[in-house]
Amino acid sequence: MTAQSTIEFTFAVVAIMFLIYGMVMMFRWAGMDLANRRVMQDKSLTMTNLPNGDPAAQLNNDSDYISPLGAVYNGNITDGNGSND
């Protein structure tokens, strides 16, 4: 009887370790995504070649590409088919 409980405990511990590892990797990925977005924002706000020497042009420029956050769903959650309308 003790051998059965030892084997079941071992399988349970292995499954829990995989779950914990997956959670750590997911939080690491989310943190790196946010850190990369912050670095890109800082680079865009501190660029050295200002247009016409006006720093306000950096804040009002709509042509800059802003990368979407990887952990955000861009669809419509109220629509049944999940389209991005």
pLDDT score of 24: 94
What pLDDT digit, counting tens, does each position of 60-72 carry?
656 556 666 566 5
**Sites in the chain below the pLDDT cut of 70:** 1, 47-85
For residue 69, give Cα distances in angstroms to 3, 6, 38, 72: 49, 44, 11, 6
pLDDT at 53: 61
pTM for this model (two decimals):
0.48
